[in-house]
Amino acid sequence: MTRGHASLLVQAVDAVFADAGGASIHALQQVSAEFLPGQLSVIVGPSGSGKSTLLHALAGIVVPQHGLISFGATVVNQLDESRRDAWRLAHCGLVFQEFRLIDELDALGNVLLPAQFQQARIPALLRARALELLERFDVPQRAGPVAKMSRGEQQRVALARALLLDPPLILADEPTASLDADNGQRIAAALKALAQSGKTVITVTHDDKLVARADSLLRMQAGQVLPSIAGSPT
């Protein structure tokens, strides 16, 4: 599996889940899209439209019942679970809407977590990169667990963690939702810069400031992709 810059191609993807009563929920319906390296791609739509489900499918966390999701030559949804996990670690930087930090660890410990899946001892250069990322995103360098940090600080720790291993694919679910205006602009600018460096950057958002920076805009409703609007990014 090649780790270089590549497009992420989605072809006729369906994802169906069962609710608590056993009824089927068609979360994604014949979704097709292409996300290109060098572009900031933004997915928008009302709550429940399938945005986060699509993002999780792109990461290989959700496996669709039908369709293909390809990153370069790799068909992600045809890999078994262990190979999807390995692919995700090697290729994806993930920022979850609920952060998924380890509350008991400090900021640095959380940022270094992806490296600990690969090696028992953290190289000095990687530790230095983690500290640089925390400084870049203005995370206070104080001791103590992240559980005591504000949500905005936790959001920035999560983004630093996603970038630690310099992945070619960045997937971010509401990356500015918990931030004030200044920090929101800073993170939006950082995501745009990552795209301009050649990475494939895909975000789900309700933030108009992030939408304004988009090179490509995917609108979703009821699990489907809506036609592009004339004059908007495509």
pLDDT tens-digit profile of 96-122?
A: 988 999 999 999 999 999 998 777 688
pLDDT (tens digit, 9 = 90+) per residue, 84-94? 999 999 999 99
Secondary structure element (H or E) that encloses residue 66, with its range: strand 66-71
**Residue range 3-19: mean pLDDT, rounded:** 88
DSSP state for residue 109 in the 8-state scheme: H
Question: The domain that contains 30 carries what CATH number?
Answer: 3.40.50.300
Residue pointed to by tokens 């952060």: 99
Q: In this structure, how many other beta carbons lie within 10 angstroms of the beta carbon of residue 30?
A: 14
Q: Is residue 3 part of a domain?
A: no
Q: Is residue 1 part of a domain?
A: no
Q: Is residue 146 part of a domain?
A: yes
Query: How many structural domains are present in the chain?
Result: 1
119 or 77, which is more confident: 77
Domain that holds residue 129: 8-225
The rounded distance, in Å, linking the Cα atoms of 168 and 194 is 9
pLDDT (tens digit, 9 = 90+) per residue, 196-216? 999 999 999 999 999 999 999
Q: Is residue 150 part of a domain?
A: yes
Residue pointed to by tokens 């050649």: 198
Whole-prediction pTM value?
Answer: 0.90
